[in-house]
Amino acid sequence: MNEYQNTYEKEINLMELFVFCLKKWRWVLIAMLLIGLLAGGYKYWSINKSNQAVLSAEGQEKEEETETEEEEEIVVPGPQDYTDRYEVAIEKSLESLEEQEAYMKDSVIMQLDGNHLPTGILTFYVAVGEEAAGANVLDTLVSAYAAYVRDGRLAKELEDVDPDVSLSDLQYLLSFSNNQSGVSGVTMAQLETGWPTQNVLEIRIFAKNETLCAAYLEAIEEAVLAYSQELQATLPAHELRVLAATQSERMSSSIIDSQRQIVANITASFKNVQALQAELKAYKEAKIAEEKAKEEGAADSAEEKKEGETETVKPVWVNPVSGAVKFGIIGLVLGVFLVGFAAILVYITSGKLQSVECFEEEFGMKLLGRVADTGKGKNFIDRLVYRLEEGPYADIPYEEQIKIVAANIKAASKGLQKIMLAGTMSEKVLEDVCAKLKAEITGVEFSTYKQLVFCAAALEEVNEYDGVVFLERKEVSTTKLIHREKELVESRDVKVIGTVAV
């Protein structure tokens, strides 16, 4: 048997348990929202998945009806008419088609002849000194120039050359290469220099005509050399020289492929619009035929079935929002129950000092009083919980509570000159309470707050005092340690005056 286990049996006070659960209202709120969102989100996902299966089944059934050429009643899944959906889809498709046609009309790329493109190639030579020589240095420099070309900064510098070319088109027309075997317009004699480390960079641009191509080459040379000066401040010192600037007429398979792809996209968009318009027309005609059939009593003839034939119940479209809301509400309620159940388990199994109603019966010590937070400065819910927990005691001001405790200590410690203040809490937590008690009780020497269970030096000092007053906090101090510290004091023949619940 546990040496600190006593025969006292405490009945659980339902009101105390209820107040303890109310104190966890923040966790209750978090659990409600979390479980509610999870339940609602899961239901929304499952209903959407079911609706997709309904739509898929309807599409498959429509295909089978077309193949067998059987006239059947058109069933529209969902709570609304498909006419609006068709019209919105057609409108968006037309807008997309207009944007693609506008791009094909205004884009410079679409105006170029991919088989005969004026091409400008500017070749640079990067040289570094012997002190900074090395593959890593060259790789860093080449990466910097490549990024300058490919991330659009160089294209931004070339916008003024031809205002008719958009920034995105201009960036597409630019390319960068640092493969020495593939550079153009440079002889081997030009590559044979006196620097120990070298590399050749090539910037290529396609233009509408030779005049613009020449202008672009001049602007590129100026921009790249200016950027080279900027790099001197952050990257290793190097020298950038222009080796060659050439113009030629070339073919670009990438531009030809891009033009073909744009034309193919426009053709596909146009066919999609035509298909949607045809489907909308057929849908409207089917709706008119359906209404006419109902007026003529076609519904009665459709109910006549062959003997033994069963009618198939078709699934219907369900609104996912309403289902998600219902499950969300169920999740909110479930969150309350889960946190409440967890709080009850904590209350029963934590071993904390939960109540002081039967303190003397449980611990065999006098309860000298309560020093509780009056609830000021807290929010409305915390103040309400405090009043439920304390009852009429909640109206007693904090200073008056200190005085009541001090009066009880005086009455219980008559004739004692030295009193130790002890407990299982940290000194910093109870610093204010200890200071106010010492100020109220004169003629008695009090110690600083001691933790007898955790400090051997404090145990050695117990015999120097006439009595001990314990200060413990509800829902923090453990009952096992309270029993232990009481036994430690009594075993040294020192009087236990009582306990103050904080």
Q: Measured between alpha carbons, how far is 496 from 364 in angstroms, rounded to an integer? A: 10
- Exposure on the CB side of residue 102, measured as CA atoms within 13 A: 6
Strand order across the beta sheet in which 467-472 lies: 367-370, 495-501, 467-472, 418-422, 445-446
d(CA 227, CA 148): 8
The confidence score (pLDDT) of residue 380 equals: 66
Q: What per-residue confidence (pLDDT) applies to 170?
A: 84
Give the SS3 label for residue 419: strand
Do residues 315 and 114 lie in contact, with contact meaning Cβ atoms separated by under 8 Å? no
Instruction: Write down the pLDDT at residue 192.
Output: 46
CA separation for the pair 303, 311 (Å, rounded): 9
Category of 199 on φ-ψ map: left (φ > 0), alpha (ψ -120 to 50) or beta: beta
Question: How confident is the model at residue 188, as a pLDDT?
Answer: 41
Confidence (pLDDT) at 233 = 80
Q: Which residues, in sequence order, are CB contacts of 287 under 8 Å at separation 6+?
A: 74, 81, 83
User: What is residue 194's predicted lDDT score, i.e. its pLDDT?
Assistant: 43
Q: What is the dihedral of CA 161, 163, 167, 170, to 10 degrees?
A: -50
Q: What is the pTM of this model?
A: 0.40
Q: State the pLDDT at residue 314.
A: 56
- The predicted pLDDT at position 460 comes to 87
Cα three-residue angle 489-490-491, rounded to 5 degrees: 90
pLDDT of residue 425: 83
Q: 341-355 pLDDT, tens per residue? A: 777 777 666 777 777
What is the CA 476 to chain-centroid distance, rounded?
34
Q: What is the bridge-based pairing of β-strands 367-370 and 495-501?
A: parallel
Residues of the chain with pLDDT under 50: 1, 5, 71-79, 180-197, 305, 307-311
Write the Ramachandran bin of 348: left for phi over 0, alpha for psi from -120 to 50, otherwise beta: alpha
